[in-house]
Structure 1
Amino acid sequence: MKKIIATFGLLFCFFQGNAQLFSGESIINQENFDKKRWSWGYYLGFNTYDLDFNLKDFKPTGPFQDKNYNVEKTIGFNVGLVGSLKLNNNLDLRLEPGVSFNKRNFQLLKADQNTFREINSTYVHIPLLLKFSTDRLNNFRPFVVGGVSTSLNLSSNENNPDDNSVGQFRMKTNTYYYEVGFGIDLYLYYFKLSPSIRGVFAINDELVPDDSPSSIYTGNVDTMKTRGVFINFTFQ
């Protein structure tokens, strides 16, 4: 979180030094940018991932209480490429393949044994998105974005024969999501910068159950799905 605050602080200082972005002056940067049929770029950003557990049989007491599943979220890193196809003056189709790195710490809070698991994830993430933008106002253009995506979890352990009985927390390799978010295009002198924030929600179950049906980790879990937040800075 400190990294995110520091990044926004640097951006604020930068924009303060380019006061024309926030003024009513008629200096228009990158005036012909949005006339291009195709545009390309890259993005850098931060992420945080959570796990949403849906239980088969909720029990107010015992080892399967919903509140026992504790996930400590951390800040991860995103990097990727952007390809954008202009459909009309306000709508673009975007492909944003990239890689995201993250770590989640998982633990059962009321268990009589050490249940801590460190879940390191490296995702190859491929979103296909529709971006709806307002008409441009000086050097600003707010937008909303939404679509679907898929990811390949290179650290999933899906085919590992070991399970939580020997300390291995397993997830499925392939995951499918829907995504929604918003942001703003800032037309700078040399390029366009687009800060955005996006929610990412898994559609399919990602849990690989333990071999034992009575496992305290997976025995009473119906589905486990990822939820995430991406904060990206796109350069075009």
Structure 2
Amino acid sequence: MKAGLVTRPTLYLDLDGCVIDSRASIAASVDEALRRYGLAALAADEIDGLIGPPILAGFERLLARRNSSQPSPAQLVATFRERYAVVSLTQTTLFPGMEAALEALGTRAALVVVTSKARFLAVPILEALGIADRFEAIFGPAPDRPAEPKTETLARALAGRPRTAGECMIGDRSHDIDAGRAHDMPTIGVTWGSGSAAELTQAGADYVVDDPADLAPVCASIARLER
């Protein structure tokens, strides 16, 4: 084991597209926000850009793509959150195999959520799914910081926690991989969310897995390599 590191590793997990399937609830909430301002509903190829990255950035890209200057992205975020706080509790599911994966990961590591979703929205979802107690901590942006980069969210999660052999960042989008690499930790990209294997590989993911059941063996391998 590396000098100065404790035995029990910490695994930092993205939420949307990694642990939970929030596609339906996000799409419904975005459509409601767009409808209130007289804008067309999401096209099929627009939803993935709004799952994973900070929601403010997603709305900025959406409005730019549509050459629309009104409403402001911040107005859409506020309306989105109003609807999402309700529908996310009934229209969000765990990805198949994720409950067993969390059980396996939790036997050897501390689990911490690091999400671009505002924390006040993330916690009730995990509670509704009955898995909030699987995580030692849940980190997400404050309500007034909808554009907080994942690198900063991960930095807050790391503050005050010991750096551990076997720690890693797990997520489905390039910004998850970027965050892990920025903090000098191994990264695992998952392909059951919105990001593709190509996106994750291009971002520099150390490992790319296609099934939640593969997470525990890969994390165990990382821990062995770092000892």
- Larger % of strand: which? 1
- Larger % of helix: which? 2
Q: Tell me whether the two structures share a fold, i.e. TM-score over 0.5.
A: no
- TM-score tier after normalising by the smaller chain length: under 0.3
Compute the TM-score of the two structures, normalised by the length of structure 2. Answer: 0.22
